[in-house]
Amino acid sequence: MNELVHPYHRFIRPTVTHTTFCPGCGDGTVAQSILRAIDGLGMDMDDFVFVSGIGCAAWIPSPLFNADVLHTTHGRPIAFAFGIKMGLPDKKVMVVSGDGDLVAIGGNHLIQNARRNIEMVVLCVNNGIYGMTGGQAAPTTPMGVKTTTTPYGAFENFFEDISGLVIAAGASFVARWTTAHPRQLTASIKKAIQKKGFAFIEVISQCPVQFGRKMGMGNAIQMLEDYKKRSISIKEAKKLSPEELKDRMVVGEFVDLDKPEMVEEVTRMIRRASGEAQEAVDTGRG
Ligand SMILES: Cc1ncc(C[n+]2csc(CCOP(=O)(O)OP(=O)(O)O)c2C)c(N)n1
Ligand code: SF4
Ligand SMILES: [Mg+2]
């Protein structure tokens, strides 16, 4: 009998026999969307260096993907990714991590590298909570949500629009989808991979175990149904008032700009500086 092999099995590290994700976790959809995008572009794992921090979402590229992956410290994947891009400018660098990793402890790396417009893809899996460590409140946890650290409900103002934050910081590509939009997500990942600049994709993703259970949102399917019900395209959102948009999730590609990319600018500057230094030596001025 022929053995059935998943079409993306070739992308998975041979030593990996299972994932760390809970049943129903959105991280599987995100992983598959990334692999679909890479396959759809006719690219290979060797074209990439993946980087992740610490958290459930950070397990997506490492150890799952059979590629060069840096599984770094909590909050620092973008800093590592910047270094990799400077040293290996021909590689595609993709960061995959959680909202806590990228927007809480790693928030400053996120905004500064978006401002610099360093060419990299950053996939932020936003489940609104610190999933891996037991469901503590994150800066993305909506007010009132009961978590391990907020048993009477989250009391901090929260980042309602992290895509908006990254747009304001200066990224050249920004999109938001949910795990109920795998095809649109895959299409945006393809664009992000091809983008010359900082490309950020926020994926609102279900954590049925820590977030869904505490919020009383039901199981993964019910959470996905909720995403479908509450999400609205940018075009449709423009017709609604802020009150009407309350509790809705605006999805789509928000920004796709061409602007100077820092690694390219630095490389150009180094060439110019070394040309001037050589000229100084040749003309006896150096
Ligand atoms: C410096 C440091 N602080 C805190 C932690 C503990 N820690 C590990 S993962 C994590 C949060 C993960 O949340 P998120 O990035 O949203 O990922 P998720 O598990 O939700 O996918 C925390 C607080 C750590 N490992 N290192
Ligand atoms: S705790 Fe939540 S985010 Fe982490 S693997 Fe389980 S369902 Fe996914
Ligand atoms: Mg999280």
For ligand 1, atom 16, the nearest C-alpha belongs to 100
Give the domains, in start order, of the chain with CATH numbers: 17-259 (3.40.50.970)
* pLDDT number for residue 1: 66
Residues of the chain under the 50 pLDDT cut: none
* Residue-wise pLDDT tens digits, 205-253: 999 999 998 888 889 999 999 999 999 999 999 999 999 999 999 999 9
Ligand lying nearest the CA atom of residue 136: 1
Amino acid at 76: R
Q: Which helix (H) or strand (E) holds 27?
A: helix 27-40
**b/e burial code for range 152-182 (CB count within 10 A of at least 16 → b):** eebeeebbeebbbbbbebbbbbbbbbbbbbb
Strands in the chain per DSSP E: 48-52, 68-71, 92-98, 120-126, 173-178, 198-204, 231-233, 249-256
* pLDDT number for residue 151: 94
Ligand 2 pocket, residue 60 CB under 6 Å: no
CA of 149 to the centre of ligand 3 (A): 14
CA of 127 to the centre of ligand 3 (A): 5
Prediction pTM value: 0.96
CA of 24 to the centre of ligand 2 (A): 8
* Residue-wise pLDDT tens digits, 70-87: 999 999 999 999 999 999
**In angstroms, rounded to a whole number, what is the distance separating the alpha carbons of residues 111 and 117?**
10
